[in-house]
Structure 1
Amino acid sequence: MFTPKYPPQDTAPARTISAPTILAPAVSAPNVYSPTPYVPAPAPVPNRPAVQLTAGSTLALAAGGGALVLVVGTVLVSMLLAVAITAASVAVCAVTVRSILTSDRR
């Protein structure tokens, strides 16, 4: 019941793929266009690395990363504080409405 059911194996013969045959023109006429393959020149490889880090740039990168962490942390903490203040004010409103309703019944 829990064993998988596989479809039957394919019994078709395997196809062999051969390289395409390039035929040469039978007669070379003077006005016939014969394209030549375009091979682009290799791109020059630079001797230096793409990014060069000096002591000053490393220090600037570390300071920028630290500033980014502080800004993101400040934003997240302020959002959490906004949610907490909203929840507290909703709780105060709920207690006030409840006390009004209970005092109204007496």
Structure 2
Amino acid sequence: MAPRHSLPSASTGAVAAVLVGGVVLTALLTAVAVTAVSVAVAAVVLRSLLANQRHR
């Protein structure tokens, strides 16, 4: 009976590890996406500022 009790605990631990890993990966991907969007916005703003200076 002991192995039967240890197997569900191990599987739940593995499931918990997979869930935590998925959450961490999702958070990292979200951070990378936010950084990319902010860099793109900054590039567009800098382009517009440089274009305005060139026209003036």
SS state of the match for residue 8, structure 2? Answer: helix
Q: Greater helix share, 1 or 2? A: 2
Alignment of 1:1-106 (within 5 A): 53=3, 55-106=4-55
Alpha-carbon RMSD:
1.1
Normalised to the residue count of structure 2, the TM-score between the two structures is: 0.87
> What is the total number of aligned residue pairs between the two structures?
54
SS state of the match for residue 20, structure 2? Answer: helix
Normalised to the residue count of structure 1, the TM-score between the two structures is: 0.48
Q: Which runs of 4+ in 1 moved over 4 A?
A: none
Q: What's the % identity of the aligned pairs?
A: 46
